[in-house]
Structure 1
Amino acid sequence: MLHNKDFKYDGTPVEKASKALIMLHGRGGFAEDILGLAEHFKIEDFALVAPQAYNNSWYPLSFMAPEEQNQPWLDSALELLGELELELNQKGIASENIYFFGFSQGACLALEYTTRNAKKYGGVIAIIGGLIGDHINTGNYITDFEETSIFLGTSDPDSHVPVERVEQSAEILKNKNAKVELRIHKNAGHVINTEELGVANNFIFGYPGPSKKKV
């Protein structure tokens, strides 16, 4: 496997936690940095887990490149998440209590993994991301989300993620029986803003979010 099991932890120890949040950094990012965003959420009882991508990238090209051009890195990243989910299950955290958060490349990976393995998850937050491939292969998605809540936040326009792909992804998620909240911010830039985190905090975790500012 190209991506090593290099997991960074924070929050409640896994062995004592009832829920877990898997946090996926973007291209060029670090697991420690994405973990820092957890302070915006009301999740004191959660174990926080952030995998570190090999060379800080989950796959080499755009998420809209032909899928085979991002191999074998993409399959390795998906396999890594599968191992992490299983590891959490074995330590007593059921998939319905596992949540995902991703930004940019990490958002794309979070959506692709959970949609390929759709079941009742705790929830998914994807900031500026969409399902992967030059054309979305819906044949990869054969199960459904059982009403998992999924929040998609993005900018229009965005330099890396066309808003049309985010909208298309949202429709596929709805067709896979997810409860989807999509927020599109005009000219917001390729950043995470706390307005999005606030909406996600409310929609996914059921708590009011922080005030509006960029982070």
Structure 2
Amino acid sequence: MKRAGPTQNATAGIVLLHGRGGSATDILSLMSHAALPEVAAIAPEAPGNSWWPTSFLAPSAQMEPFVTAALAQVEDAIATLTAEGIPAGSIWLAGFSQGACLAAEAYARHGKALAGLMAFSGALVGTADAEGPPSVALYGHAPKRFDYTGHRKGRVWLSVHERDPHIPLARVQETATTLTALGAAVETKLYPGAGHGVMRDDIAALQRLLAS
């Protein structure tokens, strides 16, 4: 794991998760853009720089054991921050692309006590395959189940382009609906046109939410 910011007396903590082909160092650079030196940031790194080998839309059997292993890394990162004295209610999960999907899944499964989630160009992986045929809205993939339990009192920022080549808008909308139903306060930012990246409004959301 790579670190940025203080390891004691931090005002908040954040677990940052890189995208496919990225690295912990890459995703930590968001903190310098956000100019939040008082926030403790920690970034796990995926084996081979990829949390799983296929699209997050793939059938559940193709996603394991990769998702379980990735979630364990997120849990370890959270535990590191709490051991440094940061309460769970001041710890955020965030990521870009594949890392945003992992952050969203970690928040939905285990984020009951956390401050919230920032998913830049990402959405829920899902808990299992659902009935139904593949659809154009899911880029030719079949639907997933979103069987999460417990209340999420945190704040959530979801962002995606209208025509993201990797993250279907339909899955982002399902993610917003699912997390809202769990109790989270969800903001969804839809960028016009095609694209896949961390945008200026994402950095502004990072600054605003961590400062709160």
State the TM-score, normalized to the length of structure 1: 0.86
Which ranges in structure 1 are unaligned for 5 or more consecutive residues?
1-6, 208-215
Tell me which of 200, 203, 210 is aligned to 1:205: 210
Separation of aligned partners in 1, 2:97 and 2:78? 21
Letter in 1 for 2:73: L
**Identical aligned pairs, as a percentage?**
34
Letter in 2 for 1:124: L
2:16 matches 1:8? no
Separation of aligned partners in 2, 1:21 and 1:201? 12
State the 1:66 CA deviation. 1.1
2:132 matches 1:138? no
Counterparts of 1:107-146 in structure 2, within 5 Å, are 107-133=100-126, 134-139=142-147, 141-146=148-153
Secondary structure of the 1:144 match is coil
Corresponding residue for 2:20? Answer: 27
Q: How many residue pairs align between the two structures?
A: 197
Separation of aligned partners in 2, 1:153 and 1:120? 23
Separation of aligned partners in 1, 2:64 and 2:113? 28
Preserved contact between residue 108 and residue 131 of structure 1 (Cα < 8 Å): yes
State the TM-score, normalized to the length of structure 2: 0.87
Preserved contact between residue 28 and residue 56 of structure 1 (Cα < 8 Å): yes
Preserved contact between residue 98 and residue 123 of structure 1 (Cα < 8 Å): yes
State the Cα deviation string for residues 122-149 of structure 1 (Å, max 9, x = none).
231101111004533222x111212x11
Cα distance 1:26–1:171, how it changes in 2: closer, same or farther (>3 A)? Answer: same
Secondary structure of the 1:27 match is coil
Secondary structure of the 1:174 match is helix
Corresponding residue for 2:87? Answer: 94
Separation of aligned partners in 2, 1:49 and 1:181? 24
State the 1:44 CA deviation. 2.4
Preserved contact between residue 59 and residue 70 of structure 1 (Cα < 8 Å): yes
State the 1:94 CA deviation. 1.5
Corresponding residue for 2:130? Answer: none
Separation of aligned partners in 2, 1:152 and 1:143? 20
Separation of aligned partners in 2, 1:172 and 1:66? 19
Corresponding residue for 2:178? Answer: 172
Preserved contact between residue 118 and residue 143 of structure 1 (Cα < 8 Å): no
